[in-house]
Amino acid sequence: MAAYTVASPLCTWLVAACICNGGGGGKYKNSQFSSFSKSKKKRVFSSSMEFKCNSFSSFSRNLYGGSSNICGLMSSCFAFEPCDEFYINNYNNNSSNNHNNNINNNNVLGFLGDSSFFGSKFGHITRKQRRSNRAFHSGGAMAVAAESSTEVTGKNKPVTKQRRVVVTGMGVVSPLGHEVDLFYNNLLEGVSGVSEIENFDCAAFPTRIAGEIKSFSTEGWVAPKLSKRMDKFMLYMLTAGKKALADGGITEDLMNEIDKSKCGVLIGSGMGGMKVFYDAIEALRISYKKMNPFCVPFATTNMGSAMLAIDLGWMGPNYSISTACATSNFCILNAANHIIRGEADLMLCGGSDAAIIPIGLGGFVACKALSQRNNDPTKASRPWDANRDGFVMGEGAGVLLLEELDHALERGAEIYAEFLGGSFTCDAYHMTEPHPQGAGVALCIEKALVEAGLAKEDINYVNAHATSTPMGDLKEYQALVRCFGENPELRINSSKSMTGHLLGAAGAIEAVATVQAIRTGWLHPNINLENPDEGVDTKLLVGPKKERFNVKAALSNSFGFGGQNSSIIFAPYK
């Protein structure tokens, strides 16, 4: 599983603030678990126990000295062999016949006990002693690892059937409407939500268009006092979250009956409370006394999930994930995993972002990532079109109510679709550019298929990430063709051609669109695809009009800065 960040991007905002001011102006198969066999676990644990860390002086030399500092760091601290200090101290401990009783302590105290952290007091040991000690201790390490893996996987846990995850509710706040049906109907009709920015004066910016929400009310969803204080990303999140509950039939009476310790919230944000933080910076120019006392908690990415849980009294898993524009998919997959593991029966999950403010627009303008088609806003977002010139910012929130199948059936919930699985990977290539061969994307898709227990031919619909950027669209398309090109039924579209790019919320509203495609049997069009890019076969892409289609299994992709890749899979419930 790819590494991901659970953090608030405050430093990013500070940098962007300087830029702006300076510039002026049955389907989830058991194979998921069986493939990670006991023998494989032994190999993983034993290799992780054979970890080498040379003395601090060697570490410092490799870290700070010479042009090969990174290579030095890798060779000194990540080689898979214990160091001299480890052997020396454990060798002395062994001679005292303490090993059998203290193996766990010795493995740790070998670094922190008799030896000096800055170098050994005992000098160098012989190769024979090193080999003898390595064999002696690696056997102990393997025993500990094997014992641990056995304990984790089976001894204390009864064998239970695989818990299935279904979608029973959805909520949206978007440039195309704040109700799920309205949102998807606008997508089906090819309506663009992109227009001129009205929330602030952006005349000095080269980009003056966005998928901006023009009218929005929290009445009936958020307390008036909080509505005045909270950042928009939190207001969007709370509103969409409560709409998902209402859509899922979670009434007040039912709320009083369910086990709230098995109910959780996992809704992320790629940018967090940018407006609250931006206002605090402006206030600080006058005096810290002018700053909003809530500026720090209301700026952090986790506070939306926390406030929603506080409002609902839900005491299960509660946190947020921030992986740039892949945020929502990370949250949805992790929420499903909490249900699969039995840690929750109900999970609200998705993403929210509200970055269409001077600092947000200025930051992306500085990256040269945005379209400048200001004279024709509705034509600006054009995935796979040869004349695309960048993505269009959007804002809003999308929230899914995921539920354990038996729990949903017991309360008589309407089941919209089944969540089959997903995956994360990292390109490990560049901060903002996709991998030239699309290796991370292809790996992510293939892993998602394995997790869902599906073959490539089982997927016949893809809601692509496709943001209307020159490089990103093409690399994703090529990866999709490599994975699914043999399937004559495959259809691909991009919701962003109409919504713009909602950043951390994009994956969530696209998951809603994917589920709606399953429910309605209609695929929304790709608008503005007038001159397809070279190498793009339009036979795979949905055309300029909606299409009637029977979705067998659907893949939704989301990718983010830092090389974050995520793919999730839905299918009709059977």
Residues with catalytic function: 325, 465, 501
Q: What is the DSSP letter of 258?
A: S
Do residues 420 and 454 touch, judged by C-beta distance below 8 A?
yes
Do residues 323 and 387 touch, judged by C-beta distance below 8 A?
no
Question: b/e string for 455-478 if b means 16 or more Cβ within 10 A?
Answer: eeebbbbbbbbbbbbeebbbbbbb
Question: b/e string for 260-290 if b means 16 or more Cβ within 10 A?
Answer: bebbbbbbbbbbbbbbbbbbbbeeeeeeeee
Report d(CA 194, CA 213) in Å as an integer. 9
Residues recorded for the chain: 574
Q: CB atoms < 10 A from the CB of 245, how many?
A: 21
Report d(CA 86, CA 460) in Å as an integer. 55
Report d(CA 31, CA 155) in Å as an integer. 20
Question: Per the structure block, which two tokens stand in for 120?
Answer: 């050994």
* Helix (H) or strand (E) run with residue 546 in it: none
Report d(CA 456, CA 442) in Å as an integer. 12
Report d(CA 86, CA 113) in Å as an integer. 10
Report d(CA 432, CA 104) in Å as an integer. 43
**Amino acid in the structure at residue 116:** S
Which residues, at least 6 apart from 112, have a Cβ–Cβ distance to it below 8 Å? none
Q: Which has the closest alpha carbon to 349: 165, 135, 77, 93?
A: 165
Q: Which residues pair with 391 in a beta bridge?
A: 370
Q: CB atoms < 10 A from the CB of 255, how many?
A: 14
Do residues 377 and 192 touch, judged by C-beta distance below 8 A?
yes
